[in-house]
Copies of this chain bind each other. A is one copy, B any other.
């Protein structure tokens, strides 16, 4: 058996937002499916049947179909002509490749953000950092993961580069597929807050080189932890 439990489909409707107005059905289905994949509800190699998904979401095959195509373009699913779509598997090699690119792009984002240093960005990042400290104390890992995403999103928006933003968005989706958060690793949460702080200070000083260096170091460390976790803590 290489598919998910049948009941996995039952969990899907819960990912759909309540009042979905016309013209956003496809978008809603895309997001719902993506979240389901990222959450691991639909594990790698699980079949994504247009008919079953349409039935589960109570929509027709058309929006489901378009959603599957988008997810395939994003690399989260793999389409086989005339046969079906599966959730894309994630090899260790892929994960390493991901972090290599991510180190580069996050470094660039930090550099650009430092050079531009748009008003409010430093405060915004610091505020998220503060909330992350609180979440660390409370050992609230899901909240930490959310805030971490928010921090990185704020950083790349501060970089104000549409292409960089798009690529980092795709990287974020790929990263979120990785099993469990590295933030649950003992002591990692404190480290992350600290490393984020180093980046923010460099941005505040408008030191592009230093910001890039710190952001890259942050990502290298993240990769190390990730590999450690994957290879059995």
Contacts and interface: CB of A to CB of B under 8 A. Distances in A.
A75 B108 contact: no
A163 B97 contact: yes
Interface string A155-180: 00000011110110011001000000
Contacts of A167: 101, 167, 170
Nearest to A94: B162
A112 interface: yes
Interface in A42-87: 65-66, 69-70, 73, 75, 81-82
Contacts of A171: 163
Nearest to A99: B163
Contacts of A23: 81-82
A108 B100 contact: yes
Interface string A16-28: 0000000110000
Interface in A72-118: 73, 75, 81-82, 94, 97-98, 100-101, 104-105, 108, 112
Given A66-B69, A70-B73, A166-B75, A161 B97 contact: yes
A163 B108 CA distance: 16
B108 A104 contact: yes
Contacts of A24: 81
- Copies of this chain, complex-wide, total 2
Residues of A contacting B: mostly: helix
Interface of A: 23-24, 65-66, 69-70, 73, 75, 81-82, 94, 97-98, 100-101, 104-105, 108, 112, 161-164, 166-167, 170-171, 174
A125 to B, nearest CB: 21
Q: Which 3 pairs across A and B sit closest by C-beta, in order of nearness? A: A97-B161, A23-B81, A101-B163
Given A75-B162, A97-B164, A100-B161, 7 more contacts: A24-B81, A66-B69, A69-B70, A97-B161, A97-B163, A100-B108, A163-B174
A89 to B, nearest CB: 12
A65 B70 CA distance: 13
A107 to B, nearest CB: 8
A76 B109 CA distance: 23
Contact of A108 (B65, B69, B82, B101): B101
